[in-house]
Amino acid sequence: MDQFYEEVQEPVSPHGHYFNSSVICSYVFGFLEMAVPIDDSQTIPLLEDVFLPINPRFSSIMIRDQAGKMRWKRVQVNPEEHVKVPRFPECNSAELYDHYFDEYVTRILNERTPQNKPLWEVHLIKYPTSNAAGTIIFKFHHSLGDGYSLMGALLSCLQRTDDPSLPLTFPSRVSSNPQHAKKTIFKKLHSVISSFFSSMLDFGSSVIKAKMIEDDKTPIRSGYEGTKPQHFTLSNISLSLDHIKAIKSNLGVTINDVITGIIFYGIRLYMQEIDYMTRKANSTALVVLNTRNIRGYQSVKEMQKPKVKGLWGNKISFLQIPIPKLDQPKISNPLEFVWNARKQIKRKKHSFSVYLIGLLLDLEMKLRGPEVASKTFYNTLGNCSVLISNMFGPLEQMALANHPVRGVYFAMSGGPQNVNVAIMSYVGELRITLKTLKGFIDEQKFKFCIEKAFDEIFKDAMEIYEIPNKI
């Protein structure tokens, strides 16, 4: 048995330390909205036969070895201990069940999972809400992996409803610019030199931002530095993916550019609505970047292959993107938010400053210890106003153990921001999930402003007959 444990033990990664420390305890939540009532008779067999074999970390806990290093250690798993089935007061109102559901989610967003058991839970909400006949919530500790790993593990357990023998397919991430590969050697050299100086500038500004400069206090950033637990709530916005694609085509940008532009514009509308003067405030978004060079997710069979297991973990970095101010002369209409997002993301994605920041944090952890590095990581997150993460979901409807899935979305918890935005597509729908601080953010007004931003950007984009030279 000791030999078996030795074989599966692996060091906890730097991000694993950051996400499970005294200053931050972060989780990724995956929500499956079921089209039919939940029959939980297959829950334990599915966990034992399908879920647990995907990755050893689902059967592991964090331990400190004799050298003082944190490692993953394989343990015996009792799946029943990880399955939670809450009981709500019986009623005949979907609105009341919505209320009970929201209260339950608010509670589990803050709760820590026990450290003496593998760091995941499954919550079966067997009550109908306005959106589903029942909801399954997967709660993963962020130290297990990032959204790609964890949502990929979740999606790999599901099958297509039209033909379970076929794999799920995902939107293409191939660049829409065919001229990109036709650069001359001089243009490539110029691009490399430009990227180098841009990267160094980004690296310097990122370090200063992380260590010295924080965003202004605004209606989306309280600047709270206390230790008292804060309570958050989730709300959802559903947009037509076809409409998003229409904006993309008319503006000559990417879907990510459109989504980011909508979020930025909606945030500024909300800030202006609450406090007009904050239209001039300095606010920054941290956009999560998946650093893997891979398309789509993997099946259960693929995820168990050694080459794919090497892609498991927290392979992410963060892009610091300033949110345009509504009083800037160049921001004359809502479409400018999309073009500005494209310009900023395109430049920063080709910068290697994100990797330099990662190396700097790793060096600090080696020299000063994981707790100090975790504090630096936490401050880097906390100096910004909002965290944005997105991923593409499948194009086909899914089912879990013959339960059709009506909707799917995800959320993150544990960070210092008052607002987190998570975006995920599924079939023809784009779901924007807002995690907002209770009592500080007016979630209904915030949702309204995001929806208004989408409506205005869609209307203006559809009126364009000739694409301006904005890129």
Please give the C-alpha separations between residue 365 and each of 337, 358, 361, in angstroms, as whole numbers: 37, 11, 6
Query: What is the signed CA dihedral for 236, 242, 243, 245, rounded to 10 degrees?
Result: 110
For residue 378, count other CB atoms closer than 10 A to its CB: 19
Nearest to 8 by CA among 78, 76, 72: 72
Q: Are 354 and 317 in contact (CB under 8 A)?
A: yes
Band (pLDDT 50/70/90 cuts) for residue 446 is very high
Cα distance between residue 244 and residue 236, in whole Å: 17
What does the pLDDT look like over 54-98, one tens digit per residue?
Answer: 888 999 999 888 777 888 999 999 999 999 999 999 888 888 999
User: Among all chains, which residue has been given the structure tokens 């991430």?
Assistant: 173
Q: Cβ(410)–Cβ(146) under 8 Å? A: no
Q: Provide the residue count of the chain.
A: 471
pLDDT tens digit sequence for 163-209: 988 888 887 654 444 444 455 665 555 455 555 556 666 656 666 66
**Does the fold of domain 186-393+416-462 match that of domain 2-160?**
yes
What is the β-pairing status of strands 10-11 and 70-74?
Answer: antiparallel
Mean pLDDT calculated for residue range 200-226: 74
Q: Are 352 and 202 in contact (CB under 8 A)?
A: no
Q: What is the tens place of the pLDDT at every residue in 260-312?
A: 999 999 999 999 999 988 888 999 998 887 766 665 565 556 655 666 556 67
Residue 339 has pLDDT above 80, yes or no: yes
Give yes or no for residue 3 having a pLDDT over 90. Answer: no
Q: What is the mean pLDDT of residues 8-28?
A: 82
Question: What are 238-274's pLDDT values in tens digits?
Answer: 999 999 999 999 999 999 899 999 999 999 999 999 9
- Among 59, 76, 216, which residue's Cα sits nearest to residue 144? 59
Distances (CA, A) of 127 to 46, 130, 132, 208, 217: 21, 10, 9, 49, 40
Dump pLDDT digits (tens) for 156-165.
889 999 998 8
Kindly state the tokens that stand for 325: 């101010």
At residue 126, does pLDDT exceed 70? yes
- Amino acid found at 242: D
d(CA 162, CA 158): 12
Smallest CA-to-CA distance from 34 within 399, 396, 430, 410 is with 399
DSSP type of residue 171: -
What's domain 186-393+416-462's architecture? 2-Layer Sandwich (3.30)
The pLDDT assigned to 183 comes to 54
Could you identify the residue written with the tokens 């008052």? 418
pLDDT for 257: 92
For residue 43, name the pLDDT band (cuts at 50, 70, 90): very high
Under 8 Å between Cβ of 424 and 170: no
Residue 38 scores a pLDDT above 60: yes
Of the chain, the percentage scoring pLDDT greater than 70 comes to: 79
Alpha carbon distance 321, 329 (integer Å): 19
Domain ranges of the chain: 2-160, 186-393+416-462
Highest CATH level, class, for 2-160:
alpha beta
Measure the CA dihedral 34/40/46/51, to 10°.
60
Mean residue pLDDT of the chain comes to 83
Give just the sign of the alpha carbon dihedral 325, 327, 328, 332.
positive
Measured between its terminal Cα atoms, the distance across the chain in Å is 60
The predicted model scores a pTM of 0.87
Report the C-alpha gap between 262 and 40 in whole angstroms.
Answer: 39
